[in-house]
Chains A and B, each alone.
Chain A
Amino acid sequence: MKTVFVTGADRNIGLEISREFLRRGWFVYAGRYIMDLGYLDELKAEYPETMQIVDADVASMESLKAAAEAVKQTTGTLDMVVHNAAAFGDHAPNAQAVDFSRFWIPYNVNALGAMRLVQAFMPLMQQGMKRLCFVSSEAGVVSVAHRTEVSSYCMSKTALNMALRLMFNQLQPEGWTFRLFHPGWVRSAKDGRPARGGKFEPWEAAASAVPQFIEDREWEDRMVLIDNEDAAWPF
């Protein structure tokens, strides 16, 4: 049975990605960050034999090392990690007063969190598929950036894509494979609010993400960001 660890599995895309892997017969280690949400417990009740909930805060190396240790207790090999956890952050309207003091928060979760995840779980993945999957975003694409106000979220996703480039350059020749996925504009609950806006439901994004994560490619030595409708994006 293949094994995957998913960060930010509490709700939205992460929850649906976990569900999609479970449907496909994978063993899922679901990273829990929001302790007072019950969706993961409901999913666990549905798949008691093939799912384990693991506390995981990607903003903390100690938390991820503890998560890796918890996973190690039940499996010798982890095939895949999915970095889905995300912080959304602030937008700064042009020429208006803005507080930049919180800009580091999405960077710490979205970009540095991906690096902490890889560092914490690489020792467990040496014998498996060695696949590293990341939910990124067109919001981090500089080449076709269209927004007209500086955004800590967009900056963090650009930084994430750069971190992945550096990792890819080093790790891909050693047999590691990478998936960068843009889920489209998904109706996601965030910051304590229910979902507002969006074109796709989380389960729709997950239904396109998981096949991309699972399937092998003949061109693993190319790092490409692909969206939920199979379109490729530049960086």
Chain B
Amino acid sequence: MMKNVVIVGAGDAAGARIAADLEKRNCTVVRVMLQGEQGVVLDPLSQESAKAAAEAVEKLMPAVDMLVVNLDGTDASDNATILDELDYQDMIRAYEYNAVGPMRVLYAFRPLLDRGEGKRVCFVTTAEGSNHACYEFGGFGRHMSKAALNMAVNQEFNGMRPEGYTMRMYCKDLASPAEKQGAYAAEYFLRNRSNEIESYKHSDENRLVLRDAYARELPW
């Protein structure tokens, strides 16, 4: 039962939609913002900030069933290619925010998740991290950081799944209007998937899958 949920990155269109959809499904949701001064605020670039945010949430919700991590700190209009002048510092920042940031959040909230019964971690990302389905020329910071996130989450899945955790990776539909950002995510995050214990191959919970807003599996 995914009763107590924390969403880190609840302020953008997708985060707000996911939080509202989870509440409609009777979850108690703590919203963690990435900027501003109201409520719990977390800076994905700072391990100390992530830890402080987790400590603040702990006072509101000591045991967390499901953690949703929704970080996207990149400029969607930056499509510079290898033939253009590239901002390498900005690409490092994108990596720190989109790939390392979610790891900072996961590690900070892990003690609260360990106390919860749901043991589920969900990441909101985009299809830009898929190497096999990449047809673009540019946007290096976005593509590379999100591909690296895919690797990081896979490695965490490998370590945490034997401990009873399940995970979700959800790709926002970048082409949809703001009011549709985050659609389907709550349904995807909350519903258990096939998990027959007698055969490890007969389970959709024993593999990590990148899935889009239309429930379609995407290649890595």
Report yes or no: B131 in contact with A146, Cβ–Cβ below 8 A: no
The distance in angstroms between the C-alpha atoms of A186 and B132, with both chains bound, is 27
Report yes or no: A151 in contact with B155, Cβ–Cβ below 8 A. Answer: yes
- Contact between A159 and B155, CB atoms less than 8 A apart: no
Interface residue total, chain B, C-beta cutoff 8 A = 43
> Which of A15-23, A77-85, A112-120 contacts the other chain?
A112-120
Known: A115-B86, A170-B81, A170-B83. A162 touches B144 (CB 8 A): yes
Q: Say which residue of A94, A107, A234 sits within 8 Å of B160 (CB atoms).
A: A94
Known: A94-B160, A159-B147. A235 touches B132 (CB 8 A): yes
Contact (A142, B137) CB under 8 Å given A107-B95, A161-B131, A166-B82: no
Q: A98-B107, A115-B140, A159-B95 are in contact. Are A148 and B145 (CB under 8 A)?
A: no
Report the separation of the CA atoms of residues A171 and B151 in the bound assembly, to the nearest whole angstrom: 26
Main secondary structure of the interface of B (DSSP, over half): helix
Number of interface residues of A (CB under 8 A): 46
User: Which chain B residues lie closer than 8 Å to A104 at the CB level?
Assistant: 92, 95-96, 100
Which of B83, B134, B136, B156 contacts A94, CB < 8 Å? B156
Q: Among the listed B47, B96, B134, B148, which residue makes an inter-chain contact with A158, where contact means beta carbons less than 8 Å apart?
A: B148
| CB <8 Å contact, A234 and B132 | yes
Contacting pair B151 A119 (CB below 8 A)? no
**A81–B135 CA distance with the chains assembled, in angstroms:** 24
Name which residue of chain A comes closest to B110, CB basis.
A95
Q: Are the CB atoms of B134 and A162 closer together than 8 Å?
A: yes
B138 at the interface (CB under 8 A from A): yes
> Given A101-B47, A166-B136, A170-B82, does the pair A147, B155 have CB atoms closer than 8 Å?
yes
| Majority DSSP secondary structure for residues of A touching B | helix
- A50 part of interface (Cβ distance < 8 Å): no
How far apart are A92's CB and chain B's nearest CB, in angstroms? 7
Give chain B nearest CB distance to A107 CB in angstroms: 5
Closest beta carbon of chain A to B83's beta carbon, Å: 7
Is B91 engaged at the interface, CB distance under 8 Å to the other chain? Answer: yes
Which residues from A are CB-within-8-Å of B132? Answer: 234-235
Q: Which residues of A contact B155 (CB under 8 A)?
A: 145, 147-151, 154
A195 within 8 A of partner (CB)? no
Residues in A with CB closer than 8 Å to B135 are 169
Evaluate contact between B131 and A100: CB separation under 8 angstroms.
Answer: no
Which residues 146-189 of A have a CB within 8 angstroms of B?
146-151, 154-156, 158-159, 161-163, 165-167, 169-171
Q: Please report the C-alpha to C-alpha distance between residue A166 and residue B99 in the assembled complex, in whole angstroms.
A: 18
Complexed CA–CA distance, A234 and B104 (Å): 28
Which B residue sits closest to A108, measured CB to CB?
B92
Q: Determine if B158 and A148 form an interchain contact, defined as CB atoms under 8 angstroms apart.
A: yes
> Would A163 and B47 count as touching, CB distance under 8 A?
no
Q: Are A166 and B81 in contact (CB under 8 A)?
A: yes
Residues of B137-170 whose CB lies within 8 A of A: 137-140, 143-145, 147-148, 150-152, 154-156, 158-160
Q: How far is the CA of A119 from the CA of B84 in the complex (A)?
A: 9
Residues of chain A within 8 A (CB-CB) of B136 are: 166, 169
B137 contacts across to A, CB distance below 8 A: 166, 169-170
B220 within 8 A of A: yes
Q: Which residues of A contact B99 (CB under 8 A)?
A: 103, 155, 159
Q: Which 10 A-B pairs have the closest CB atoms?
A: A142-B220, A162-B147, A148-B159, A235-B131, A170-B137, A158-B151, A159-B144, A155-B148, A94-B159, A145-B154
